[in-house]
Chains A and B, each alone.
Chain A
Amino acid sequence: MPKKDRMSGNEAVAYAIKQINPDVMPAFPITPSTEIPQMVSSYIANGEVDTEFIPVESEHSSMSAAIGAQAAGARTLTATSSAGLALMWEELLLAASNRMPLALALVNRTLSGPININCDHTDSMGARDTGWIQIYAENNQEVYDNFIQAYPIAEHKDVHLPIMICQDGFITSHAVENIELMDDDVVKEFVGEYEPEEFLLNPGKPMAVGPYAISAYAMEARKNQEIALENSKDVIWQVAKEYEKISGRKYGFFEEYRTKDADYIMLIMGSAAGTAKQAVDELREQGKKVGVLKLRVFRPFPAKEIAAALSRCKAVAIMDRCESYNGNGGPLGSEVTAALFRNKVMIEAVNYIYGLAGRDFTVENVFDIFAQLDDAVTSGTEIEQYQYIGLRK
Chain B
Amino acid sequence: MNNLNLKEIMNKPERLAPGHRMCAGCGATIGVRAVLRALHEGDYAVIGNATGCLEVSTYMYPYTAWEDSYIHNAFENAGATLSGVETAYKALKKKGKIPEDVNYKFITFGGDGGTYDIGFQSLSGAMERNHDMVYVCYDNGAYMNTGIQRSSATPMYADTTTTPVGSQSNGKMQNRKDLAAIIAEHDVPYVAQTTLTTDFKDLHRKSEKAIYTEGACFLNMMAPCPRGWQYDTSEIMKICKLAVDTCYWPLFEVDHGKWILNYEPKKKLPIEDFLREQGRFKHLFKKGNEDLLVQFQQEVDRRWENLLYRCARED
Contacts and interface: CB of A to CB of B under 8 A. Distances in A.
Contacts of B66: 206, 208
A209 interface: yes
Nearest to A205: B69
Given A52-B87, A69-B84, A23 B60 contact: no
Grouping DSSP codes into helix (H, G, I), strand (E, B) and loop, the B interface class, with mixed when no group exceeds half, is mixed
Interface in A33-71: 50-52, 54-58, 60-62, 64-71
B122 interface: yes
Interface string A213-251: 110010000000000000000000000000000000000
A217 B61 contact: yes
Nearest to B82: A68
Contacts of A61: 77, 79-80, 83, 121-122, 125
Nearest to A28: B125
B91 A52 contact: yes
B150 interface: no
B104 interface: yes
B84 A200 contact: no
Interface stretch (A72-80, A120-128, A298-306, A371-379): A72-80
B90 interface: yes
Interface string B110-131: 0000000000011011001100
A308 B223 CA distance: 62
B20 to A, nearest CB: 11
B92 A73 contact: yes
Contacts of B83: 26, 54, 56, 61, 65, 68
B304 interface: no
A364 interface: no
B72 interface: yes
Contacts of B69: 200-202, 206-208
Interface in B38-82: 44, 46, 48, 55-56, 59-62, 64, 66-74, 76-77, 79-82
Contact of A200 (B46, B67, B95): B46
A73 B92 CA distance: 8
Interface residues of A, number: 44
Given A60-B76, A65-B80, A68-B82, A208 B87 contact: no
A287 interface: no
B265 interface: no
B77 A211 contact: no
A90 B51 CA distance: 13
B88 A23 contact: yes
Contacts of B91: 23-24, 50-52, 69, 74
A98 B83 CA distance: 18
Interface of A: 23-24, 26, 50-52, 54-58, 60-62, 64-74, 76, 90-91, 94, 98, 200-203, 206-214, 217
Given A26-B80, A56-B80, 8 more contacts: A24-B91, A51-B91, A57-B122, A71-B71, A76-B88, A90-B74, A91-B74, A200-B46
